[in-house]
Amino acid sequence: YLPGSDSYLKKNEKDGFFEERVYVGYNQVAIFVKKGNPKNITSLEDFTNEEYASVICNPKSGSIGRMSKKILTKYKGEDYFYDVFDMAAEIGTDSRSLNNSLQKPQIDMTLNWKATAYFDKNIENITVVEIDEKYSQKKKLVLTQLSFSKNKELAKKFLVYAGSDEGTTIMKKYGFR
């Protein structure tokens, strides 16, 4: 199990589903724009620029929605988040829907987990614009063996491999730092 944030592990610890764990890197939210950044989008400020059309994830559906609200609120306050939300051309439901919407000609930008820009279907179409870490903090990624895994021995081997130098190198290749 690889949640988008270790907060899911902490929140559900009491259920007894989680066994061994290994740190495999981190993910971070960034601004996503079309490949090559043709509109020269540079910062969170651009989300309230009427020249650009954005898609924002609903803060009640998925980790990227919650993180987007947290980042925009930290940047300029809760009113700024609501301004961005109200100005959005579309409201997404999860990370995948945000990337799909960015492929539409009318959408210029979104906030999303940086690693998703490196997925095969996205790497040719998305440019990542970094957000200052004081607003977009790194989220630790912890791979966890589930207590109900059908093949515990194989799951354990995968956990060990994922935490090795070779495993973390592969994770970096796919955007997890």
Report pLDDT for 16: 85
CATH code linked to domain 29-129 = 3.40.190.10
Residues of the chain scoring pLDDT < 50: none
If you write DSSP's letter for every residue of 134-155 in order, what string do you get? TTS--EEEEEEEETT-S-HHHH
Report pLDDT for 79: 98
**Burial classification of residue 39, based on how many CB atoms lie within 10 Å of its CB (0-12 exposed, 13-18 middle, 19 or more buried):** middle
Report pLDDT for 47: 98
Domain ranges across the chain: 7-25+139-170, 29-129
63's enclosing H/E stretch is helix 63-76
CA dist 49 and 40 (Å) reads: 12
Q: How far is CA 11 from CA 3, 8, 16, 48, 57, in A?
A: 12, 5, 11, 33, 22
Q: Supply the DSSP symbol for 5.
A: S
Report pLDDT digits (tens) over 58-104. Answer: 999 888 999 999 999 999 999 999 999 999 999 999 999 999 999 99
Report pLDDT for 173: 81
CA dist 122 and 116 (Å) reads: 7
